[in-house]
Chains A and B, each alone.
Chain A
């Protein structure tokens, strides 16, 4: 083996004239090294970058036009009118507010319950691995399936949720969860909490696993109670993970669509109409494509700013 490598290394000098071989070989190797990485990256970058930019620019172009799909005729240029309309559209602002009334309670509940679960399960006990595996099962299920499952559970007359409540209270509970102005949004929140709290728990469990027991021992010596140890030691140490959870879940919750589409279609009335659903409805329900594109761009800009925060956070986490 060593011999073969030796032969190979000798070969360029043995071939051809001295000067040309020595001059050409290093240059070829240099050129090779320099460009190879780009050959590897090029296909994906071309596909995604060019594809993505083309799509984005097309949406941008359309957003400056009045363009309604069912109506005949080409798109008509109207400048920033769509953007002006979006910013003055009371329904858009209402949908933004409604998005928050779903996203904020869901995020808080997921964080609190996830933390509670993580603290509860962060100790050795028999069956721990099985319990965690079973609790985590909803995480990879699609939102569409989760929404369908909870539609069955929340069925006013035949669903088990009202049945359980009836048995517990001894009265006949018939709450029309998804059809009720009061309960539609809490029902969406409940479904999302069921669907993603285990994920929050997993993240926080990973964080708790990295905190050494010795810190708590020192706190004990100082006479700190369990609660003080949680507030003064555990939570500050978990802060990076809590920030990560807020960013990841926040971004997903603010763009919530699947659960709405499957469970309420924005109703009853418009109480569960979120931003994503409102844009979808305008663009693909009413085919007001130009207007929907303008709204999509506005939302996208907002999200790019959010993404920047996320990136800064990741970089800080790496250092």
Chain B
């Protein structure tokens, strides 16, 4: 099982930054796109993506696969996803461990899964079927969640580890989501990180969130907070050289501010790896 080569440090490709990216070719190693934004018949977004694809590696990140839903798999959606992948040739395709709706409705949210053996069997089966259809492994991301189900029979990290092994998929570890969920559900972040099989993780996500006193909400509209930077520092040695990207989906700052965050991620990763090597020697 050979993981894709690390791409370096990337950003989310968002329309507000198209012009700057095309004009300045910034020092970003790769871009992640929201797959659904480009699953359209035609027009400017696809043309922009193809131009930027000429210079940068691209990863496709979806929000609507609804891999944990009990609704039937949406093969129209999967065909459109496969068609986009065929056109863009992404380094890999990711989506979330979540569901987005049942009975034909799409709630446009990353809804939480009860950590039960039934849900695990269901998700594993669906990931395998989607991977067979797409002809490639998926990377599945841990989400931020706000509720704990009374039905849950195992920890989130046990569920994810089992899922990855049984479905033979990659993992996308969202560091901010670990932080947000650890606060909301009062678990130890280290338990989560330590349980994640490092040979399955192909990518890290960093992002900002919103504070709501009794809970935190994953909003991607703020700078990355200090606690998440700290957790990222702790996570880095575990995964070595790994593709890392910053998500920003609202309250968009000047592009230079994202570049500064990306440089900070580069510095922390380099520092954490050095410290880990020194500790070994």
Q: Do A and B bind each other?
A: no
State the B residues within 8 Å of A (CB). Answer: none
